[in-house]
A = this chain, B = another copy of it.
């Protein structure tokens, strides 16, 4: 398959590498200059479960995509949430009536942005449980295993969605076709809306958060806000199951993990994607008349903290 990976941060690196290794024709698109230059010079590089890997792949700035001669079948999008619109404004030349777009990004509401550029029947949504970290431009840390869940947003996309599932699985990305991708997106946003926001605000890892006496109480309150809003989108979040899943991250090796928002905000002083997580619940709550005071306060406090640390956009 001819694939463009748009946004070559840590996850774009993982997917770009895996898909090209499996024989797909992969083109990269990214707007961060040090990253683009590093990949042009050294290829796409990563530490993949302890092994240094490297593969040369063509990479373009968003403004250069008109230089890509042959249309792509699929765009896999892994930009920062708040940069999605800006990217799509620039990569319009890539979008044809046969170009599908797959969005596995964390958070909610990306499809609302994408629908402005792409027909609903060309949109594929889902989640991935792979993790990844970018340690320097052009080089990612790719550890552990994961999986991918994909569903077509419009009714006509099913055939192609299943073809993408097959392509990803051949690339060892463990994809499956889903009939409940929206549930999975809500569930994952709920996990991020607790662990990411709270660890970033309190500057701790997941185990440390879980060991504070009060955490389990407010975690349940926040999950309840997600569930109350989700209900208005015909999603019945299993609050006990989500809590149990979060609770499991407080023990064992994963407890030492600092969520990606912590790494963005506290470690690297970058903007967060809070508007697509707790912020999205707050906005939708306003729309449905559901009060979400905890999501609202967390969103606002994270925004204050972004300003206090002088967070940059990239």
CB distance B221 to A304 under 8 Å?
Answer: no
Contact of A202 among B218, B293, B301 (CB under 8 A): B301
Bound-complex Cα distance A153 to B215 (A): 37
For A293, list chain B residues within 8 Å (CB): 221, 291, 293-294, 297
Cβ-defined contact, B297 with A213, below 8 A: no
| Size bracket, chain A contacts | 20 to 34
Interface pick from A19-27, A60-68, A204-212, A230-238: A204-212
Residues of chain B with a CB closer than 8 A to A201's CB: 201, 301
Report the minimum CB–CB distance from A249 to chain B (whole Å): 16
B218 close to A301 (CB less than 8 A):
yes
> How distant is the Cα of A213 from the Cα of B208 in the complex, in angstroms?
30
Q: Which residues of B contact A303 (CB under 8 A)?
A: 212-214
Decide if A307 is an interface residue (CB 8 Å cutoff). Answer: yes
A313 at the interface (CB under 8 A from B): no
A47 at the binding interface (Cβ < 8 Å) = no
- Interface contact A202-B305, CB-CB below 8 Å: yes
Q: Is the CB of A212 within 8 A of B304?
A: yes
- B residues near A211, Cβ cutoff 8 Å: 307
Which chain B residue shows the least CB distance to A219? B300
State the number of copies, please: 2
Chain B hits for A221, CB < 8 A: 293, 296-297
Residues of B within 8 A of A202 (CB): 301, 304-305, 308
- A33 cross-chain contacts in B, Cβ below 8 A: none
8 Å CB interface, A258-292 against B? 291
Which residues in B have their C-beta under 8 angstroms from that of A304? 198, 202, 209, 212-215
What residues of chain B lie closer than 8 Å to A212, measured between beta carbons? 303-304, 307-308
Instruction: Report yes or no: B213 in contact with A307, Cβ–Cβ below 8 A.
Output: yes
A294–B296 Cα gap in the complex (Å)? 9
Task: Answer whether residue A217 sits at the interface, using C-beta atoms and an 8 A cutoff.
Answer: yes
Write the chain B residue with the least CB distance to A208.
Answer: B308
Q: How far is the CA of A226 from the CA of B187 in the complex (A)?
A: 33
Chain B residues whose C-beta falls within 8 Å of the C-beta of A203 in the assembled complex: 308
- Which residues of B sit under 8 angstroms from A294, Cβ to Cβ? 293-294, 297
A307 vs B304: C-alpha distance in the bound complex, in angstroms?
A: 23
A224 to B218, CA, bound (A): 21
In the bound complex, residues from chain B placing their C-beta under 8 Å from that of A301 are 198, 201-202, 214, 218
Is the CB–CB distance between A308 and B218 below 8 Å?
no
Complex-state Cα separation, A256 to B290, whole angstroms: 38
Q: Which residue of B lies closest to A308 (CB)?
A: B204
Q: Mark A187-202, 1 if CB is under 8 A from B, else 0.
A: 0000000000010011
Distance between Cα atoms of A214 and B215 in the complex (Å):
24
Q: Which residue of B lies closest to A300 (CB)?
A: B214
Least distance between A261 CB and chain B CB atoms (Å): 15
Compute how far the CA of A307 lies from the CA of B297 in the bound complex, rounded to whole angstroms: 21
State in angstroms the CA–CA spacing of A213 and B214 once bound together: 29
A204 to chain B, nearest CB (A): 5
